[in-house]
Structure 1
Amino acid sequence: MNQRLIKALQFDVAQSIFTDARVVFDGRKNLFSAVELDLGGNSREFDVSLPSQTQQTQNDRPPRIYKIRLTHVATINTETLHRFIDGLQSQDNTVNTTLMALNVVIRMEPSQRFPVKGRSFFTPDDTRNLGGGLVLWRGYFQSIRPALNRMLINVDISTGVMYQSGPLISLCLSFLGMDPRNPSVLSQQLPDRQRVALGRFITGIRVQTKNAGSGVERTQVVRKLSPQAADKVTFTMRGGETLTVAAYFRKVNNKPLMFPSLLCVEVGQGALIPLELCTVIPGQLVRKEVPDDKKTALVEFATMRPKDRFASIQKGLDVLAYGQSEYVRKFGITVDRTPLQTQARVLAAPALKYGAGSTALTVNPRNGSWNMAGTKFYKPASIAAWVLIIFESMGRFNDQAVNDVATSFVKGCRATGMTVTHPDPIVRRINGQAQIAEQLLAAGAACAKEKKVPPSLFVVVLPEGGNDIYTMVKHWGDIKKGVATQCLKSRKCRGAKEQFWANVALKVNVKLGGINVITDSTQVAVLSDPHNNPTVVMGADVMHPGAGTTNRPSFAAVVSSVDSNAAKYVATMKVQASRQELISDLQEMTHYLLSKFMDYRKLVEGRKEPTNAPKRLIFYRDGVSEGQFQQVLDQELPLIRAACDQLKIKPKITLVVVGKRHHVRLFPSNDRDADRSGNCPAGTVVDRDIGHPTEFDFYLQSHGGLLGTSRPAHYSVLYDENSLTADTMQALSFALCHVYAGSTRSVSIPAPVYYADTVCARAKIHFDPEKQGYSETHSGTADSADLENYKRDYQSLHQLHTTRMYFS
């Protein structure tokens, strides 16, 4: 709406002012012009009406007038930007404002023609029906970015989720998963639960309707779904006559409704419109979170092989058409469409060390993966006795399948060096609708009675769609009982091969206190330097509530290595204000983790004081945007320091932000340099041409490609008391991507960051699933009282798990 008003202002209302000065608008309050506007002073007000409204006026009603006031507030000196990209000054507010203005310039043209979300816009050229009233549109992301001695436009493809356009009735039926040929189900007989869900889904959608009688089309916003049908709900007209909605439309339109028994929608100031008279306008972005059952199809649509993605990006340049944009030309911007070519290096993968009994103690990864065949864990754990719980039905998972799971699991664990004292488990079939905690407890008691030792592990086979059961099992095991639990999906473990059980053993071993693999520290300078060790490595992340959610807090997680090889980690998590990115309890969390590090060095590794105190602290921070870097330095770094002061230790701190949410993609210019998936090989690092003009940053693609185009991680070293070189920082980060306990592949970000992300994602297991405290009890807005409720209901990790990698 705002964009339409500004367009009308420029092209219809005040042409003389804007002929030589096409202005660009950010959609909210900021207007940028390449030349000074002749406003006849510092400020001027304009009356604007939309052309479409002028044509629709009837009954001598004048068109609606909107008042727009333009006020000159600042002049941007672009010389500051030149100095910045030449590396002669730091990134300040003037530079940020200039970059913002340039981004508004390049998005102005597409924003007037296509649906826009942030810096992405979407076209109807390539779409896929997602079902449930949703449609996927292919789109293009664009962003102007500074680099050393140049400005770049970062272009990538993106995916938008739209409401299904066309008759509103069709969208409603699609959402409910009902027969599109049978609209009659949308009557008053629709069950309340479905009606409420449908009402939530369509609220806020813009629909085209026709004025009763005149037939003039109008755009209206759906406020809510009426609980009554058009032939049942009545209203009183100005003359005193009482009519049903169906009767009213039959009277003024001189023809009856096709489906008078269907519900209505409320629009505008409370007007009721029958569903059949509403048409959903195309290109409306869904602002809510996509349902879980649609996410797989969404990922499939968004996934493209490197060559296809590159071709699609080049096609996007034709749609963007920078050279044809009047706005881009007026601001004196020229764009070279040639993709930027840069030099990259491929880092050598660290050698990985396994335990005694392995056919080869050292394994060398190739393109981000390695084979565990013939190897034993570096530090294998023991399973004294264990319980096997089956939630799947007998028909889907018979006794033979249960026996196969029991024998294959033990075989997989023993093959990796783990000890299983009692190979035969206590087996229990449990009804997922029954009291799960009580039945798990009873199974554990039966194990202790029969095996004479309490179970150290519960292996749980889940049915399809067993997410709620999973939450209950994890809450019981991690929060209430302090016993390790390993959940398996029934369809995955039925008839599974050896490789599957080896992967299960990877997770079980670390949950029981073992260590799977370490990097050869002689190849990782930070971990092998005798003068500056020990080194503690931490990872932190914050998880925010999903889009459209207003009543949930954010969760902050920090994990820390405790061993000398930075392979074993412990974690802590806190509840904090909704959508707050900075970690408010970081001092307390860091203090707790550093204490765990020193305790482990002393009690497990047998180090004496003062050698158990860390000399270096490498802190990887995830999820922070570039605009928040200074806040991290000003607010989080002092909290890390304060925690060290409390413990009377003085490690030298290096603070690194790891970014995943960006659109930089690396494509090998020569097919010979690509891996089998067409991506750059694992270990590809780029630290020139696309880096920041003044900061120490680099892009590292640490994982081998599987499906689609790999995304490199962006590392920005914000603070470094350790004076680490680029080579050292890159080698350490790459090495840490190889010690993620759950796989025999290097991962896309360092293991501590990955773990912090996982701990955040498991936030709901800290709330009693019986009370539904995490999902239902708290409603309304996320105010301070609501936050206190969440903090009160949050239950801490069981003491026995505080030294284990329960989150693996």
Structure 2
Amino acid sequence: MPPRGGPGSRGGPPSSRGGRGGAIPVGPTGGIPSHVQTIGVRRPGVGSAGRKLNVVTNHFGVTIPDGIIHHYDVIDNNADKTFPARLNMEIIIKLQNLVAPDVFTPRVVYDGRKNIFSPRALPFGASAEATLWLTALPTQFAVPLGTPPAGRPGKAYRVRLTKVAEINPEILARFLQGRQSHESVVLTAITALNVVIRMAPSMLYPFNVRSFFTPRETKDIGAGIVLWRGYFQSVRPAVGRMLVNIDISTGTMYKPGILYPIAMDIMGFNDPGQLYAGKFTDRDAVKLSRFLSGVRVLSVLDKTKPPRTVKRVLANENASKTFTLQVEGQAPRTISIAQYFKDTFNRDLRHPRAVLVELGKGAYVPLELLEVPPGQIMKKTVPPEKTKDVLEFATKKPADRLKSIMGGLEVLNYSQSQFLNSFNMQVSEGALRTGARVLVPPTLKYGPGSKQVSITPRDGAWNMIDKKFFIPGKVTAWAVIVYERQQRFNQETVRNMIEGMRNSAREVGINGFDSEPVVVWENGQGRIADQLRAVGGMVKQKFNTLPTLLVCILPEGSTNIYNAIKHFGDITAGVATQCMKSAKCFKAKPQYYANVLLNCCRVNVKLGGVNTVPDDRSVPFLTDPTNPVLILGADVIHPAPGSEGRPSFTSIVGNVDGAVSKYVATSRVQTSRKEIIEDMQEMTQHILGMYYKYRINMEKKSGVPKRVVLYRDGVSEGQFQTVLDEEVPQLKAAFAAMKISPPPKLTVIVVGKRHHVRMFPESSKDADKSGNCPSGTVIDTDIVHPTEFDFYLQSHGGLLGTSRPAHYNVLYDENNFTPDALQQLSFALCHVFARSTRAVSIPAPVYYADIVCARARTHYDPSVQDKLAFSDDQTGTGSGQGSAQLQRYKENFKPLHQATALTMYFN
């Protein structure tokens, strides 16, 4: 039977794009006609397994327009540069409100970039052009068009509108009923509805794409950052209707006010004199410039001037800096910056010795004369030390989050929106209630000697009391390296730590910790690799064998030491390493060491062991001996915003054992910000080779998988077709290159985490202790795609805040999964994550792939990392140097040590 969702099958018979022969109930029409094309696999029905549960979701019904939508393309004829969306929005708002209100009645909606949608045909034919002048004063515009205003002329903007198409909403209605293919006209119609609902708040509040932020609830977290509560809204197609997905969001804003105290806040200074030239170092200037570059500022002395953009902060210049002043009718004269402001504005500077800010075109201005306006979104990465503050602000318990979402309806005020009224759209006031199911968790098996060999998780968690690992690892020789001062972390503390680890290892069955380790204290400022190599020599001398484990105690803020240790262990020596923070070890309770070996379970898998495996009866798909299974996880991680010239990293992780609990990984460097994995074939071949060797040599079973399931992370809906067109053929090519005949049956599932769908238990009696829906809650009706095979699964138990379910989209399926079978498989794989004794939010292999991507930085020798500009707050190379820079990253990327490659080193 041809695969469901196979590439190139668009427009074929039902079976070629996911049909199974009969009609499939998906909505009001009762089935999907054969001519309807989809991107992913057609929905084969809905699941039935599990306990039924009623939930509330953060979706609200919305009607679609009943009239033609007129689509116009906006062309800026000053197209030598791209304007910010906020400026574009302001231009169009003034154009239709002040310049040509008769033309734009009723008002049109605009996305801030290229698209305008109107509920009626605009009265100018195929295209029209207008010129308007915009100054810092919002009412100064040219009337009539083409005539500049009196006085200060401002800046001229020429706008051309060209009619693109007419959209019949009936197309969208047919799509929702499963009678229309997933075509570009459908996507454009959905885009139009999104622009309609976002237009009103975009006019009033700071916004970024799908969220806008209000000052109703804010928090100053220091370092020049203020958090604003925001609201996310997105119109999405569902079964038989359109829904608006509404959620709360968090905006990071630049702190408003005079720039001088803000600069002190960013730098953590208490004394204003620390910003004086001479005391303010070059390194300080680099740090402050990175934070402030691109920030819009106003002149304190003349707020009618338009905002300027900060270019950089100068370290060694102050207001005594001179320049040549040229005034019409006067001879040029040399004057200091301080004297210029005194003569021109009668303003004496309070801090004339303070450093200067350079604005565009070489203008140097004192910090105290610039003001940051409120509501300016910060697009840079939040400093690591402030991440906790952001999470605390963003985290809300389920009941509180739902209350905030319902309160957001008052801010959105859909019923009073002139734009929704113009398009005859209405949003329901009640959140959507729907049916869900709670899946039965898999039974997990532990090793011989356990008092309870099998256990069924409860509320997404279980414990390891009186249990032995399924396959315990073994330590033949080990060492402890302390990177903390010996006065703080002394012999007694080390002894307590060793004893704690030893007791925990004994409880879970790991052998070898009873031996006495080599213990040394080292300086973290030294050459880490040389230190660890010397320790290895000491272990060799004592045990007559090289170490199998290095336990390293690290002080706070020791990322560089950590990276160097991981590089040595993973790349150079092929030895397992376990790092622990000294603050947690110092006078720690035995439970901390139990966490290392019991709750986190990392050491065991690094030593080649297996913690637990799912019982055969829990997941039949995994345990058919005649059809061996390879489960893959794949991910791509990109550099931080503003880090141009740095690469992206890719990873693929796959099981090598029959129990799908032991994984190996491979990672690569690729083109910056490219989402599709370039080396998919080569990386898959590597995993297949490892699978073959382990199955043949260790398990004495067939080394050829007959079924392959890929869980793909990090792909947006707009890239689904590209995955089918580019990654699936690479997977097939890998099977062919490995000469697997017949080729294994392939299933590709995208696992989405970056969405705003939330589910809330309708009754408190159905909630877990955190107030969330129980672990295993799945929804595959009402809020899912009208025709394609997708579902939402909240696999983990709640801890803090509101849990986010994972969104599974099946793009390709030769294994002909039923919804129940795939949901149960995915849920089971969330229980084999070796770092914890809790079910995690996404299947273990794709979770591992995410970790391996992040770990890829440690594949570079620490001595070259600074040269390659790795830190997130550095600016990368320009686009002209991108190819050469990428090649340098690839040349310096080191493969895993042969011994490391066989273990789950990434735990």
**Per-residue deviation, 1:268:** 4.0
**Residue identity in the other structure for 1:120:** S
Distance 2:388 2:813 in 1: 40
Distance 1:495 1:519, change over 3 A: farther
Task: Provide closer, same or farther for how the CA distance between residues 71 and 421 of structure 1 changes in structure 2, counting only shifts above 3 A.
Answer: closer
Answer whether contact 2:502 2:514 (CA < 8 A) is retained.
no
Alpha-carbon distance between aligned partners in 2 of 1:73 and 1:345, rounded to the nearest angstrom: 45
Taking structure 2 as the reference length, what is the TM-score of the superposition? 0.86
1:35 aligns with 2:114: no
Query: Which residue of 2 is the match for residue 129 of structure 1?
Result: 220
For the Cα contact (< 8 Å) 1:582–1:632, is it kept in 2? yes
Greater mean alpha carbon deviation, residues 185-194 or residues 11-20 = 185-194
Is it true that 1:443 corresponds to 2:513 in the alignment? no
Kindly tell me: are residues 761 and 577 of structure 1, through their superposed partners in 2, closer, same or farther at Cα, counting changes over 3 Å? same
TM-score by length of 1: 0.96
Contact 1:211 1:218 in 2 (8 A): no
- Match of 1:516? 611
Report the CA distance between 1:651 and its aligned residue.
Answer: 0.7
Partner of 1:797: 896
Q: CA RMSD in A?
A: 1.7
State how far apart, in whole Å, the 2-side matches of 1:542 and 1:170 are.
40
- What residue number does 1:205 align with? 295
**Aligned residue among 430, 438, 451 for 2:522:** 430
Three-state SS of the structure 1 residue aligned to 2:862 is: coil
Equivalent residue in structure 1 for 2:602, among 487, 491, 507: 507
Residue number in structure 2 paired with 1:785: 884
| CA gap 1:790/1:194 in 2 versus in 1, 3 angstroms | same
> In 1, distance between residues paired with 2:545 and 2:153?
85
Pick closer, same or farther for the CA change 1:774–1:344 going to 2, 3 Å: farther
Task: Answer yes or no: is the 8 Å Cα contact 2:285–2:314 preserved in 1.
Answer: no
Mean Cα displacement is larger for which, 182-191 or 103-112?
Answer: 182-191
1:584 equivalent to 2:668? Answer no
Q: Give the match's secondary structure for 1:112.
A: helix
Higher mean alpha-carbon deviation, 53-62 vs 165-174, is at: 53-62
Superposed counterparts of 1:743-782, under 5 Å: 743-772=836-865, 775-776=868-869, 779-781=876-878
Cα offset for 1:427? 0.3
Q: Tell which deviates more after alignment, 781-790 or 157-166.
A: 781-790
Asked if 1:742 corresponds to 2:835, the answer is yes
1-structure distance, mates of 2:594, 2:604: 10
Deviations along 1:695-738, whole A, 9 cap, x unmatched?
A: 11111000000000000000111111111110000100000000
2:654 is aligned with 1:568: no
User: 1 CA distance for matches of 2:591 and 2:300?
Assistant: 62
Structure 1 partner of 2:319:
230
Q: For the Cα contact (< 8 Å) 1:184–1:259, is it kept in 2?
A: no
Q: Where do 5+ consecutive residues of structure 2 fail to align? A: 1-86, 142-147
Deviation track 1:470-509 (CA, whole Å, cap 9, x = no partner) reads 0000001100010010001111223334443233221111
* CA displacement, residues 435-472 of structure 1 (integer Å, 9 cap, x when unaligned): 21111111111111112222110000101111110000
Equivalent residues of 1:4, 1:50 under 8 A apart: no
Conserved? CA contact 2:248–2:405, under 8 Å: yes
* Deviations 1:665-697 (CA, angstroms, capped at 9, x unpaired): 010010000000000010111111111111111
What one-letter code is carried by the residue in structure 1 that aligns with 2:641?
A
Distance in 2 (alpha carbons) for counterparts of 1:416 and 1:184: 55
Secondary structure at 2:165 match in 1: coil
Letter in 2 for 1:746: A
Equivalent of 2:472, from 353, 357, 380?
380
Q: CA separation in 1, counterparts of 2:868 and 2:596?
A: 30
Identify if the C-alpha distance between structure 1 residues 774 and 350 changes in structure 2 by more than 3 Å, giving closer, same or farther.
farther
Determine whether 1:664 maps to 2:757: yes
Does 2:105 correspond to 1:19? yes
Unaligned runs of 5+ in 1: none
For the residues of structure 1 that align with 2:337 and 2:717, how far apart are their CA atoms? 54
**In the alignment, which residue of structure 1 is the partner of 2:5?**
none
Distance 2:513 2:112 in 1: 67
**What is the aligned partner in structure 1 of residue 132 from structure 2?**
48
Give the distance between the partners of 1:798 and 1:449, measured in 2 at CA.
23
Match of 1:337 in 2: 429
Amino acid of the structure 1 residue aligned with 2:318: A
Secondary structure of residue in 2 paired with 1:384: coil
The match for 2:57 is: none
Q: Which amino acid aligns with 1:26?
A: D
**Change over 3 Å in CA distance of 1:652–1:199 after alignment to 2:** same
Q: Distance in 1 between matches of 2:188 and 2:172?
A: 10
The one-letter code matched in structure 1 to 2:191 is M
CA shift for structure 1 position 211: 5.8
Q: Specify the code of the residue in structure 2 equivalent to 1:615.
A: K
> What is the Cα deviation at residue 58 of structure 1?
11
- C-alpha contact (below 8 Å) 1:391/1:463 kept by paired residues: yes
1:125-154 C-alpha deviation (Å, 9 max, x unpaired): 111111111111111111000001010000
**Is 1:219 matched up with 2:307?**
yes
1:410/1:423 contact within 8 Å kept = no
- C-alpha deviations, 1:35-83, integer Å up to 9, x for none? 11111x2111111123726659999443332111111122223222111
**CA contact 1:588–1:643 (8 Å) conserved in 2:** yes
Offset of 1:765 from its aligned partner?
Answer: 0.4
In structure 2, give the amino acid aligned to 1:515. Answer: V
Flag the 1:372–1:751 CA change in 2: closer, same or farther, 3 A.
same
Deviations 1:598-629 (A, max 9, x none): 1111000011xxx3211110110000011111
Q: SS state of the match for residue 631, structure 2? A: strand
Q: Which amino acid aligns with 1:204?
A: G
Q: What pairs up with 1:69-468 in 2 under 5 angstroms?
A: 69-179=160-270, 182=272, 185-210=275-300, 216-227=304-315, 228-238=317-327, 239-420=331-512, 423-468=515-560
Q: Show the counterpart of 2:624.
A: 529
Cα distance 1:184–1:539, how it changes in 2: closer, same or farther (>3 A)?
Answer: closer
* Distance in 2, Cα, partners of 1:452 & 1:263: 61
Distance change (3 Å), C-alpha of 1:745 and 1:593: same
Where does residue 583 of structure 2 map in the other structure? 491
Query: How many angstroms apart in 1 are the aligned matches of 2:868 and 2:394?
Result: 29
Counterpart of 1:559 (choices 644, 653, 656) is: 653
Aligned length: 799
Which residue pairs with 2:144 in the alignment?
none
Q: Distance in 1 between matches of 2:608 and 2:366?
A: 63
- 2:709 is the counterpart of 1:612: no
Secondary structure of the residue that 2:96 maps to in structure 1? helix
What secondary structure, in the 3-state scheme, does the structure 2 residue paired with 1:689 have?
A: coil
Q: Distance in 2 between matches of 1:457 and 1:665?
A: 42
Amino-acid identity (%): 49
Q: Is the 8 A contact 1:422 1:451 kept in 2?
A: no
2:14 is aligned to none
How far apart, in 2, do the equivalents of 1:552 and 1:64 lie? 36
Deviation at 1:223, TM superposition (A): 2.4
For residue 641 of structure 2, give the secondary structure of its aligned residue in structure 1: coil
Render the CA deviation track for 1:512-550: whole Å, top value 9, x for unaligned.
11100000021102113345x211100001000011211
2:71 aligned partner: none
Q: 1:44·1:69 contact (CA, 8 Å) conserved in 2? A: yes
Deviation at 1:775, TM superposition (A): 4.8
| Letter paired with 1:519 | P
